[in-house]
Amino acid sequence: MSTKPKFSHVVFQTAQGEAMRNWYSTVLDGHVVFSDEVLSFVTYDEEHHRIALIHPPMEMDRKTETTAAAHHTAYTFANIDDLIARYELLRDQDILPEVCICHGITTSIYYKDPDGNFVELQIDTFENPDDATAYMEGPYYEEDSVGPAFDPEELIEKRREGMTEQQLGDRETWRNSGLGNPLEVLMGPR
């Protein structure tokens, strides 16, 4: 018997219930399971809910870049083509990423929800979690724990030209992208 839990859901408190509910349903290709004047539940898989929203009818302050809070939630796709398809679907609905990063262990596209919370859509670079851990313990992470930014349209172009998922997930592919330090987007200017 395992005593390890599995992740169930995340709950956001928001003053923008409808906007957040619609955004998560669109981004995650989910649907609303239940919603009333103070609670909403959204799922995108077999779980009864993955996103819960508490939206009481009262004024709330928005978080700022210096608010101590959860930074982001992340969702993994099966492969690069699925990630690209989701990016294109969202792009065509004017939902655009804040930054895209080749972390080395993941290829990640970061969005902001209506409340300013980051949401990471990603693929894993390594099939085996032990290989990902070894990569993180190696020289790439010692040198740069984040990785270079990339342009998602360039990623699509390189994929159409025949680059493999492994090549696209290699930091060296994006090392000279010229897009600046992605931490400035993730953490705000310092």
- Domain count for the chain: 2
In a domain, 66, yes or no: no
| Mean pLDDT on 157-176 | 95
Q: What residue type is 114 in one-letter code?
A: P
User: Are 92 and 175 within one domain?
Assistant: yes
Domain of 45 in residue numbering reads as: 7-59
| Mean pLDDT on 162-185 | 92
In a domain, 2, yes or no: no
Stated as kind and residue range, the H or E segment containing 185 is helix 183-187
**Greater pLDDT, 43 or 183:** 43
In a domain, 64, yes or no: no
User: Are 123 and 184 within one domain?
Assistant: yes
Alpha helices in the chain (DSSP H): 17-27, 80-91, 129-136, 139-143, 152-160, 165-168, 171-174, 183-187
User: Are 181 and 148 within one domain?
Assistant: yes
User: Are 104 and 33 within one domain?
Assistant: no
In a domain, 76, yes or no: yes
User: Are 51 and 85 within one domain?
Assistant: no
User: Are 49 and 105 within one domain?
Assistant: no
pLDDT value at residue 70: 84
Tell me: pLDDT of 3 over 70: yes
Paired tokens of 24 = 């998560």
Paired tokens of 38 = 């103070």
Distance of alpha carbon 114 from alpha carbon 40, whole angstroms: 15
| Mean pLDDT on 133-148 | 90
